[in-house]
Amino acid sequence: MTQQTEKIYEHALEVLKENDQGSYTIPTKGLYPFQWNWDSCLTALGQFHYDEARAWTEIETLFANQWPDGMVPHIVFHVYSDGYFPGPNVWDTGRPTPTSGITQPPVAGFAIKRLYDRATDKAEAAKRARALLPRIDAWHRWFYDMRDPGHEGLVAILHPWESGRDNSIDWDEAFERVPTDGVEPYVRRDTQHADPAHRPTKAQYDRYLYLVQLFRSLGWDNARLHDASPFKVVDPGFNAILIRSATDLAALADELGEPEIAARNRARAEAGLAALETLWSEPHGQYLCRDRVTGQLIDSASIGGILPVFAAVPKARAEAIARTIEIWAAEVKYIVPSHDPADPRFEPKRYWRAPAWLVMNYMIQDGLRSVGETATADHIVSSSLELITRSGFAEYYDPTTGEPCGGGRFTWTAAMVIEFLEAA
């Protein structure tokens, strides 16, 4: 490492440690004061490099809050804080430690395989991985039972927040069908911590809240939510994460002598990969979302349709996606933007409507590398490190200028930087 990269590495460690609450890590102070699902799983990868045991704890704490039906919630409200909305009273899920009532991209299977593969104390890692295997398997089963009742092989999200790409352009059309009548009065907190011009709009927020109220009125009974929800979208990126996690969980289960868990997850991944092909768009050179209410593909070329390289999609698809990324790269200064820059709806500073996010970069470059698309993978890593050097550990970045946006001193951004530097 050069002196400069050493400094960046040290700084990344500082960010991880200052957001560490002992058994879980908050994404950033102020804006997000609780535990978030996929933030924690990806954060564990960075923690591993300075404390292997602590990395496992991060994921174990999340799974200690798994619901009896198998769902792993998107937020765990470990402590009281009035700095975030919607808080536990709005969700009202009745869990012993309050949680939200929706989920997030299931990246845990991928994360624990990576922790196990790299572990220096294999016996200890095997013990901890073995305890998590059935829990992650139950979460995957939950997805196919509750979010794929028609057995398509792909699961739907019922709330934009489940995608992890909260206000993506992908949801706009389907979201218009979500009513806003009866939404209880509320005061947003996010706009007190971050620039309102970078955050989702009020019209979007009303609809986020409408869905929360609807699901709450159904007692968070997942057997009823899918059919009752006016918003049901099949996101290729979300499904790719599930497929990758199922593949990795299967490999790990085989290694740890759990052949049944392995077989179930291998079957899920195979069915998912075959079904993913129905979302391919030749003109866009990437996958697209499908609106499960209308059955139509959604004409919105976002990073959600680039992310499938993280699963083992056919080589020709991965090659086409690498080309698409390079076409986008010619339009912006830093990659990977979360939306096609040629789309007039591209908004460089607004959250998931164009900005670049390091977690996405990490998963995309990982997938590209595994199929030999190393030039684009390297391009993504160098762009990521340039962003950090220029703008610090922000939540996300304007891809046209590199300007830092959203929250600062952000945990998963720091964790991804550690991963990039360790691999360099």
Query: Which residues participate in catalysis according to the annotation?
Result: 166, 395
**Cβ partners under 8 Å of residue 109, min gap 6:** 136, 140, 244, 245, 246, 247, 248, 249, 252, 265
Is residue 200 near ligand GLC by the rule CB under 6 A?
no
**Shortest spacing between CB 194 and ligand GLC, in angstroms:** 10
Nearest CA to 264 out of 112, 140, 128 is that of 140
**Shortest spacing between CB 43 and ligand GLC, in angstroms:** 10
Residue nearer to ligand GLC on the CB measure, 63 or 319: 63
**Cβ partners under 8 Å of residue 217, min gap 6:** none
**Shortest spacing between CB 153 and ligand GLC, in angstroms:** 24
Cα–Cα distance, 40 to 107 (Å, whole number): 10
Choices 36-44, 253-261, 288-296, 323-331; region in contact with ligand GLC by CB under 6 A: 36-44
The answer to whether 58 and 25 have CB atoms below 8 angstroms apart is yes
Instruction: Give the footprint of ligand GLC on residues 159-178 (CB under 6 A).
Output: 164, 166
Residue that the structure tokens 């009281």 belong to = 80
Whether the CA torsion 287, 291, 296, 302 is positive or negative: it is: negative
Query: 51 is written with which tokens?
Result: 């404390």
Instruction: Give the footprint of ligand GLC on residues 38-67 (CB under 6 A).
Output: 38-39
By rule CB under 6 A, what string of x and - marks binding of each residue 244-283 to ligand GLC?
----------------------------------------
Is residue 77 near ligand GLC by the rule CB under 6 A?
no
How many residues touch ligand GLC under the rule CB under 6 A: the total is 7
Residue nearer to ligand GLC on the CB measure, 241 or 246: 241
The answer to whether 169 and 201 have CB atoms below 8 angstroms apart is no
**Shortest spacing between CB 45 and ligand GLC, in angstroms:** 15
By rule CB under 6 A, what string of x and - marks binding of each residue 16-35 to ligand GLC?
-----------x----x---
Residue nearer to ligand GLC on the CB measure, 166 or 291: 166
Nearest CA to 402 out of 341, 331, 332 is that of 332
b (16+ CB within 10 A) / e for 324-339:
bbeebbeebbbbbbbb
Helix ranges (H only) for 194-258 are 202-217, 222-228, 236-255
Residue nearer to ligand GLC on the CB measure, 19 or 365: 19
**Residue ranges that bind ligand GLC, judged by CB under 6 A:** 27, 32, 36, 38-39, 164, 166
